[in-house]
């Protein structure tokens, strides 16, 4: 390596890192980094440190994703075969439905970067959603509209949406991991996990496809009801949204039981 130019060494490190990302074998990358670290040139040593940091960060991320299989693994160890995760999105908005999804993932599916949908960019969610739908054993999406939300309250509507999503799975679940608190609507054996969308890979997958579905739906509503900004704020109570309601009045998709839309507000 002493005979190589700095740019050549950097290209070698980059190529070896890409190979590691593809085959998950860090041995060759560690060897090249060690050689660079032993180089007398400070610029090469700096490269070695930079790529060691990249490797450490990637390995930490892999460990995080691997840890998200904990609850699925525990359920399968008890004899359950089809472990679904379910989550909902849209409890906070003033308009639009609450949407829930349920997902059963196959063991070994590679979903790099998967996390709570709120922690991902739109581009990341879209890419993961496509892969989840393509490779999942089973998935389903259900929505509960604003009329039902106003009738039963948002908490109960969220529970109903999750129960309906689980029930709609083409391959039925025999165990359900539920985001948040207990959901009495789900009668299958289940486990509630607070902040489950960052702890269970199946719940995270459900949160992602529910989020993408609802965001797309709100973009459709933006065209149906121009002037409210649904495509940007997705129905959440932003200053822009509240001003639009004051100016234009509520639409048929607004939740009239929510402040500031309630008559007693």
Q: Give the pLDDT band (50/70/90) at residue 193.
A: very high
How far, in Å, CA of 95 to CA of 103, rounded? 25
Mean pLDDT of all residues in 176-196: 96
Assign domain 70-220 to its CATH architecture. Answer: 2-Layer Sandwich (3.30)
> How large is the average pLDDT for residues 43-59?
92
Measuring CA to CA, which residue among 208, 222, 236, 228 is closest to residue 93?
236
Q: What is the model's pLDDT at position 2?
A: 74
Extract the tokens encoding 81: 């075969």
Which tens digit of pLDDT belongs to each residue from 82-95? 999 999 999 999 99
Mean pLDDT over residues 194-217, rounded?
97
Question: Is the pLDDT assigned to residue 68 strictly greater than 90?
Answer: yes
Asked if residue 214 has pLDDT above 60, the reply is: yes
pLDDT band at 265 (very low <50, low <70, confident <90, very high): low
Q: What is the Cα Rg of the chain in Å?
A: 23
Place 22 in a pLDDT band, splitting at 50, 70 and 90.
Answer: confident
Residue 231's closest CA among 219, 216, 247, 243? 219
- Token pair of 46, please? 């700096």
Enter the pTM of the model: 0.89
- Spatial strand order of the sheet with 83-89 comes to 138-144, 98-104, 83-89, 175-179, 190-193
Domain extents for the chain? 6-65, 70-220
């Amino acid at each position: 390596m002493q005979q190589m130019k700095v740019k050549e060494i950097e290209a070698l490190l980059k190529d070896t890192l890409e190979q590691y990302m593809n085959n998950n074998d860090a041995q060759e990358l560690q060897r090249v980094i060690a050689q660079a670290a032993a180089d007398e040139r400070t610029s090469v040593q700096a490269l070695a440190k930079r790529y060691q940091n990249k490797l450490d960060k990637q390995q930490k991320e892999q460990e995080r994703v691997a840890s998200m299989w904990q609850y699925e693994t525990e359920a399968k160890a008890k004899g359950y075969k089809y472990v679904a995760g379910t989550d909902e999105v849209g409890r906070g908005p003033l308009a639009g439905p609450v949407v829930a999804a349920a997902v059963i993932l196959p063991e070994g599916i590679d979903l790099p970067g998967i996390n709570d949908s709120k922690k991902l960019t739109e581009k990341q969610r879209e890419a993961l959603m496509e892969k989840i739908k393509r490779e999942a054993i089973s998935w389903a999406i259900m929505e509960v509209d604003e009329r039902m939300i106003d009738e039963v309250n948002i908490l109960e509507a969220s529970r109903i949406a999750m129960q309906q999503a689980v029930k709609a799975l083409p391959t039925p679940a025999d165990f359900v991991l539920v985001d948040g608190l207990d959901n009495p609507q789900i009668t299958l054996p289940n486990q509630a996990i607070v902040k489950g969308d960052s702890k269970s890979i199946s719940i995270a997958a459900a949160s992602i496809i529910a989020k993408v579905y609802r965001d797309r739906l709100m973009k459709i509503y933006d065209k149906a009801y121009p002037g409210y900004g649904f495509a940007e704020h997705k129905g959440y109570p932003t200053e822009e949204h509240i001003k639009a309601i004051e100016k234009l009045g509520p639409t048929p998709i607004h939740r009239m039981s929510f402040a500031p839309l309630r008559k007693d507000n």
